[in-house]
Amino acid sequence: MIKIASWNINSVRLRMPQVERFVESHAPDVLCLQEIKTVEELFPHEAFEQLGYVHRAVHGQKGYHGVATVSRIPMAEVSRHDWQDNGEARHVGVELTDHGMVLENVYVPAGGDVPDREANPKFGQKLDFIGRMTRWAKNIDKPTLIVGDFNIAPLESDVWNHKQLLKVVSHTPIEVESLARFRDAHGWVDLGREHIRAPERYYSWWSYRAKDWRAGDRGRRLDHMWASPALAPQAKGHEVFEDTRDWEQCSDHVPIITEFEL
């Protein structure tokens, strides 16, 4: 069995103690991080080395964005796509060399606050990003797992209040429709909702603005793991680790893990 985790860590250097606590408790074989907010040279390589993650693919930039995939099992970096079309570090792809699985780690732009392409260029950039991902997905020819912070909660049960969030970026109909086109381009299987069936509650993000995130529970499912149709049946379990949201200096996202029988 292989355990693959994904986590928007919101600064890996600041939150390395939380990463260490998580991997020591749950021991994922591969960990995909988003929003690492550092260049590769300043990434905490030594700390990951000591934790056994001797294979690393880091696509970072100073202060913003950035993704990293670290692994205890052999892997090789295979791609870095600029789906933002402006040089931002938002993707890295690797192949798990002993298992024939391609693992894509992506950080989709948040899209600003106003769900209008004309009034808010960031929203247009987000939709265009997903459009580029969709064109890419049409040509996938290997068993692939794409994970990361998609910054979209597609289902009604992926948010704390569907009606209140219909005009809030991350749950608007146009974003949901864009993500559906991406899904259909390759026939992706949403592993989170394969194992935690809608309408069961499933969130992975809670705003820092909430004084008591548990009491309010105004969450959204922004983090995802989607598999190629041929790979999806090999996923044997999926978990969400909400307790990390209570940790000191926590990320506003929590990690998710899928276990595969490869």
How is domain 2-260 classified at the architecture level of CATH? 4-Layer Sandwich (3.60)
Cα distances from 257 to residues 39, 101, 151, 204, 236, in angstroms, run 25, 16, 18, 12, 11
Q: Which residues have a catalytic role annotated? A: 107, 149
- The reported pLDDT for the residue numbered 164 is 97
Chain mean pLDDT for the chain: 97
- The reported pLDDT for the residue numbered 44 is 98
Q: Check whether 210 has a pLDDT greater than 90.
A: no
- The reported pLDDT for the residue numbered 211 is 85
Q: Check whether 116 has a pLDDT greater than 90.
A: yes
- The reported pLDDT for the residue numbered 97 is 94
- Average pLDDT on 202-224 reads 96
Q: Check whether 161 has a pLDDT greater than 90.
A: yes
Condensed to tens digits (0 to 9), the pLDDT of residues 194-209 reads 999 999 999 999 999 9
- The reported pLDDT for the residue numbered 262 is 87
- Give the DSSP H/E element, type plus range, for residue 237: strand 235-240
Q: Check whether 34 has a pLDDT greater than 90.
A: yes
Condensed to tens digits (0 to 9), the pLDDT of residues 45-92 reads 999 999 999 999 999 999 999 999 999 999 999 999 999 999 999 999
d(CA 131, CA 222): 18
